[in-house]
A and B are shown apart, each in its own frame.
Chain A
Amino acid sequence: MSEALVTAVKDICQAHECDRTRMMDVVQAVNDKYGYVSSEAMDLIAEQLSTHRVEVESVVSFYAFLSSKPKGKVVIRLCNDVIDRLQGADRVGQAFVEELGINFGETTPDGQLTLETTPCIGQSDQAPAVAINDVIIPNVSSDKAREIVRELRQHMDPARLVKQHGDGNNAHPLVGSMVHNNIRKRGDLLFTPINRGEAVRKALAMSPVEVIRAVKTARLRGRGGAGFPAGMKWEFTRGAPGDRKFVLCNADEGEPGTFKDRVLLTELPDRVFAGITIAGYAIGAEEGIVYLRSEYRYLIAFLESVLEQRRKDGLLGRNILGKEGFNFDIRIQMGAGAYICGEETALISSCEGLRGDPKNRPPFPAQKGYLDCPSVVNNVETLCCVTKILELGPASFNEFGSDRSSGTKLLSISGDCKQPGVYEMPLGVTLREVLEQCGGADAAAVQVGGASGQMVGPKDYDRKICFDDLATGGALMVFGPDRNILKVAHAFMEFFVEESCGYCTPCRVGNRLLMDRLEKIMAGLAEPADLDYLKELGQTVKTCSRCGLGQTSPNPILTTLENFRPVYEAMVKEETQGFQATFDLAQAVAEAEKIAGRTSVHAHA
């Protein structure tokens, strides 16, 4: 064991006070420094954090961006989200493979470059996109991919790949990113100029209970997808016994096709932090945590600087804005590549330095959350809405939106439309109006709510985007008439199989079974009865799964089956001889044919 490693790991652990619950930070720091967490490093970390080696291994092996095997100095991660694929990610991938001379999942023989795929990195409006270490390169072509590799071979510095900056704060010196905001429509609510400190000041002029009442009067519901009334969540957390409470901001934005939180964090970080501070005041917390997905790490230096400025301005820290006794601060917890961590209890597990397994409920986070303390978990956009409720007053907030869904909703629109990007629309807007605005009026299908949402067709375009009808976290993926719906559903299932945490049986096994049978259907190896099989299996997975992932993962199949049934029916045919259509003799003997160097007499009859 090298002395240097011992010292480095010790330093890293001590920088986190050898706190077992900060395991995520520790293993990420080690991974950053060495490109992986070696077996020796695991032993050292376990020793420093007074835990067991297998616990360290457990965490490292859970997250896609952590590795227990050496990787290249630079890791190229091509986004293989369905939108990216429709826009040519496969060709880009091929270019990377050819130029690097390695396949996906491999490292160049000189140990310099690793090539991987990764699920949606939150750039679907500028797809195909690639993450090179922390640097995001949007709109990559195959030519560009070759150029990137050649250039990297010369200097191995991903930062130097950034040629011109995106708009807004993407050009901020601490961001320096090529990413574009693509804010296509600014509503009159969130994307309005911010008067720093106003919302917090107004909140502090009220009692915490009054703040909660204001949020309830505004009928604010969670913007992440679940739509739980925010005021009620705060009230439960405030009322829960416990001296120490927490506000957790869910910035894990992993739902494929969603990227609006990235834009909020880039352009309105003060709103986000103000919302967290107000939530802290309302529930009686002194600590807030932003759980930031690893794919947005290029924003961290900038976000830290905003936090620092807020501390200087008295908007964070002790006796905020002179309010005696209100102390509050915020830290950023980096994720490490796991969709499941967007689930609130999995997010808490991850913040606690554990695998991102969801927790059993009850108890709910409001009763027992982060470190077993009452905690509130809110989406980035929800917290931004809070600041507007404080600034304008709940009555004005209510004027936006429809009867039972107040406020605006940020929509992340991607796919086959002329203007992909972020749209701030009043809740209650019809899908048709949205499609017209984004230049996607000829859409054959729209996936509402990301991979876990529902696929709807033209007959549903007059439905409203709101909590009582088409409820969504905001992702709209538009598919034109030429797209293969089954391929899209398959891509989503691939995603869920990859991202299931594996804790519970139906999600771990059922999603794989669903995907396998869908593949049979796509290959023309299925019968009408297989459609019932999908439906029943999908229902079992939805009914029995432990958390929201498995409770929604069959949706791509179930909703396409319901809304696009003819597409499935065209692929299946009745088997009349009592054989299993799913058994393919030609495929089953193919390997033996190759080995034996002769052709099956039965398979090709």
Chain B
Amino acid sequence: MSQTVTLTIDGAKIEGQPGQMILGAAQEAGIYIPRLCHKDGLTPHGSCRVCTVMVNGRPMSACTTPITEGMVVENDTEQISSLRRDLIDMLFVEGNHFCMFCERSGNCELQALAYRFGITAPKYPYMFPDRDVDATHPDIMIDRHRCILCGRCVRSSQEVDGKNVFQFVGRGEEKRVAVNAEAALADTNVDVTDAAIEACPVGAIIKKRVGYVVPIGKRLYDHKPIGSEIEADGAVTAK
């Protein structure tokens, strides 16, 4: 009995394990599927939609769709890139992303994706929402202007830290990440060493006093696009 599942991504034949999601199987084969809310090791969330791929012609999120035998996946096509650009643009205009002074600039996954897709300005008008900052904790700060509601902190706190520091509250445009306390982060059992703090892909949850320690030119995405580490790993001969 076969222990592997065979599928194609942009014409390249790859193999994966039963139960694996498209995103993970692709990654092991050296194919990068862009993503934001996904973080290896956490329960797939399927909220940012940046990993949208066409599965047998239908749009699906690659992080939540299990691979099946003979599945035909399109990932790197002009149509999908255009959709992904739209989604990245939406996340930029929805929040207040001041890259020029953000501690996470250069190491930010949202910014890195925009770089990868060659975005120089969003096509949608900025919304400039009024959000808040929680700097009550001695070592950690939450800047909700930068939050993209990916839920990586929520899941990391629950699944890795065994806590429940963060959770979504509100609905629709009012949705935001709240903390498990009446007032603020300082009143929770969060710790600066929690995985949840590291899990934030943007500058919404940051450690105090360590901002800008890595100089420009040495940051994660200064020289190579996000995803190139995955593409460098596995040689896939496509098409």
Contacts and interface: CB of A to CB of B under 8 A. Distances in A.
A504 B64 contact: no
Contacts of A117: none
A58 B91 CA distance: 22
**Which has the most chain B C-beta neighbours within 10 Å: A355, A499, A544?**
A544
A540 B86 contact: yes
Interface string A119-144: 00000000000000000000000000
Interface in A63-117: 63
B18 interface: no
A505 B170 contact: no
Interface string B155-173: 0000000001011111111
A191 interface: no
A545 B171 CA distance: 16
B24 interface: no
Nearest to A550: B49
Interface stretch (A247-255, A309-317, A445-453, A509-517): A509-517
**Which has the most chain B C-beta neighbours within 10 Å: A338, A500, A501, A503?**
A503
Nearest to B167: A54
A543 B173 contact: no
Nearest to B179: A54
A2 interface: no
B178 interface: yes
Nearest to A338: B171
Given A58-B167, A501-B172, A546 B91 contact: no
A506 interface: yes
A230 B13 CA distance: 37
Interface string B117-146: 000000011010000000000000000000
A61 B173 contact: no
Interface string B40-69: 000011111110100000010100111000
A322 to B, nearest CB: 44
A360 interface: yes
A37 B127 CA distance: 31
B83 A505 contact: no
Contacts of B167: 52, 54-55, 57-58
A503 B47 contact: yes
B65 A505 contact: no
Given A52-B167, A54-B167, A54-B169, A509 B49 contact: no
B58 to A, nearest CB: 10
B93 interface: yes
A499 B164 CA distance: 27
Nearest to B150: A505
A216 interface: no
B81 interface: no
A62 interface: yes
Nearest to B123: A533
B171 A505 contact: no
A546 B47 contact: yes
Contacts of B65: 362
Interface in B192-216: none
B169 A502 contact: no
A510 B87 CA distance: 9
B140 to A, nearest CB: 16
A152 interface: no
Interface string B82-120: 010011001101100000000000000000000000000
B164 A52 contact: yes
Contacts of B46: 360, 504, 546
Contact of A516 (B44, B48, B50, B125): B125
Contacts of B149: 502, 508
Given A360-B44, A502-B172, A512-B173, A52 B86 contact: no
A44 interface: no
Nearest to A356: B171
Given A355-B168, A360-B46, A537 B64 contact: no
The interface size bin for chain B is 35 or more
A278 B193 CA distance: 54
B178 A505 contact: no
A55 B167 CA distance: 7
B182 to A, nearest CB: 5
Contact of A544 (B44, B45, B59, B174): B59
A99 to B, nearest CB: 29
A509 B180 contact: no
A185 to B, nearest CB: 37
A39 B181 CA distance: 10
Contacts of B124: 513, 537
A544 B52 contact: yes
Contacts of A516: 125
A52 B154 CA distance: 13
B90 A57 contact: no
Contact of B94 (A499, A509, A544): A509
Interface in A472-512: 497-506, 508-510, 512
Nearest to B165: A54
Contacts of A512: 127, 173
B218 interface: no
A508 B175 contact: yes
A43 B166 CA distance: 16
A63 B169 CA distance: 10
Contact of A57 (B50, B59, B169): B169
A546 B49 contact: yes
Contact of A62 (B45, B148, B171): B171
Interface in A274-332: none
Contacts of B90: 505-506, 509-510, 513
B153 to A, nearest CB: 12
B87 A508 contact: no
Nearest to B65: A362
Given A360-B46, A362-B65, A544-B87, A54 B178 contact: yes
Given A362-B66, A543-B52, A543-B83, A54 B173 contact: no
A503 to B, nearest CB: 5
A501 B171 contact: yes
A463 interface: no
**Which has the most chain B C-beta neighbours within 10 Å: A58, A498, A582?**
A58
Interface string A345-384: 0000000000100001010000000000000000000000
Contacts of A165: none
Given A360-B46, A504-B48, A62 B170 contact: yes
**Which has the most chain A C-beta neighbours within 10 Å: B48, B86, B124, B178?**
B86
Nearest 7 A/B pairs, CB to CB: A502-B175, A509-B90, A54-B180, A52-B164, A54-B167, A61-B169, A360-B64
8 contacts: A54-B166, A62-B170, A62-B171, A362-B65, A497-B173, A501-B175, A505-B47, A509-B90
Interface of A: 39, 43, 52-55, 57-58, 61-63, 338, 355, 360, 362, 497-506, 508-510, 512-513, 516, 536-537, 540, 543-546, 582
